[in-house]
Chain A
Amino acid sequence: QQQVKQSPQSLIVQKGGISIINCAYENTAFDYFPWYQQFPGKGPALLIAIRPDVSEKKEGRFTISFNKSAKQFSLHIMDSQPGDSATYFCAASMNTGFQKLVFGTGTRLLVSP
């Protein structure tokens, strides 16, 4: 059972454009929503995370938008650069002792020069 659905599976964006990746979740007990970035041959690394008490969080060119009523959240990459080409995973977890992350299926982003 896929508790976090991610789309699109792949995305091609021109340099300088906006990349948008969407995720939807089912479990209303989730209260932590991170995005991880993974380059080929490397482990995932935390990019940005949000909790449901805010609707938006921005860190540099990366923004998470969160819609609690729709149970959706998205990652926006402004002014996308070729160095942003990677696979992006959304995830969700509950606020229990160990945060069991439930990951989306990933989006492969290619930013063309």
Chain B
Amino acid sequence: NAGVTQTPKFQVLKTGQSMTLQCAQDMNHEYMSWYRQDPGMGLRLIHYSVGAGITDQGEVPNGYNVSRSTTEDFPLRLLSAAPSQTSVYFCASTLGAPNYEQYFGPGTRLTVT
């Protein structure tokens, strides 16, 4: 069991570029989510999915798109990168009730110049 995997581990983008952060889980979890972590702000929910084909917005969705075509994969797309999107991005998955533990991936550190 690899758990939750994320690629790439590090990425540098120029303002205006687009890219996709990959996330995959092999635990057959229905729920997946993306968070960003910024100093002094904790983790904030960007988007989440309650199953294949179903996604919804979290607290800070602007500038990001997601899709969920399979149970295993939940990519996060940055449409036009901005310096404000410099952050560490974490993908997480959870089985749901009654076990609410969220399993986090190792993160992607993104810098936008």
Contacts and interface: CB of A to CB of B under 8 A. Distances in A.
Contacts of A97: 50, 96
Contacts, number: 58
Interface of B: 4, 31, 33, 40-45, 48, 50, 56, 58-59, 90, 92, 94, 96, 100-102, 104-107
Say which size band chain A's interface belongs to. Answer: 20 to 34
Nearest to A99: B100
A36 B100 CA distance: 13
Contact of A104 (B31, B42, B104): B42
Contacts of A65: none
Contact of A44 (B33, B48, B59, B104): B104
B48 A100 contact: yes
A43 B107 CA distance: 6
A93 interface: yes
B45 A105 contact: no
